[in-house]
Amino acid sequence: MPTLSSERRNVEEQTFIDGVINRRAGRPGALLSILQAVQDHNPHKYLPLDTLRYIATKTQIPFSRVYSVATFYALFNLDPQGNNTICICRGTACHTRGSRNLLQSVRLELKLGLEDPGDTGDGDKVLQTTPDQKFTVRTVACFGQCAMAPVVEVNHRIRGHVNERTLEREIQTIQKESE
């Protein structure tokens, strides 16, 4: 049985979504901007399936299309994200300059292990969140910053020429700030 606070949260969430839809409806790319605004509003930066269903109903867009858009674009998350994100580029330039080692180092530093529990056979795609939800580690195909390879995005800030030591210090700084 839902609690009063969860019901109030649902009403507040629906009111927010309704406002976003009303402001963006009928514009080019409306669905993308609606999904992005709703995800940004979520405290764990993701789009729960119930939220996608609600958006589909309110916009009169088939749920299959809303879901397809949310799963096609890498910027959308269907699972809760950590409070801090570390995104490692796996493009060719970054790979040849050590991004695989950076990924392994970060996974070990955050005690995520070297294997992705949700591994689908695509060895380069990673999305893992620490059990305490402090960090999400993910990979992208390319940031388009090849001259600065290897490139890592930490909490939405692009860092170039990253090595294991600088990334370890970055993580330690974040951990100290959140204590």
pLDDT digits (tens, 9 = 90+) for 129-168: 999 999 999 998 888 899 999 999 998 899 999 999 999 9
Residue 164 makes CB contacts below 8 A (sequence gap 6+) with: 101, 102, 105
State how far the Cα of 99 lies from the Cα of 92, in Å rounded to an integer: 9
How much is the pLDDT for 59? 95
Which DSSP letter does residue 80 get?
-
Q: How do residues 103-122 score in pLDDT, each as one tens digit?
A: 999 999 999 987 655 444 44
- R_g of the chain, CA atoms, integer Å: 18
Is the Cβ–Cβ distance between 78 and 47 less than 8 Å? yes
pLDDT at residue 58 above 50? yes
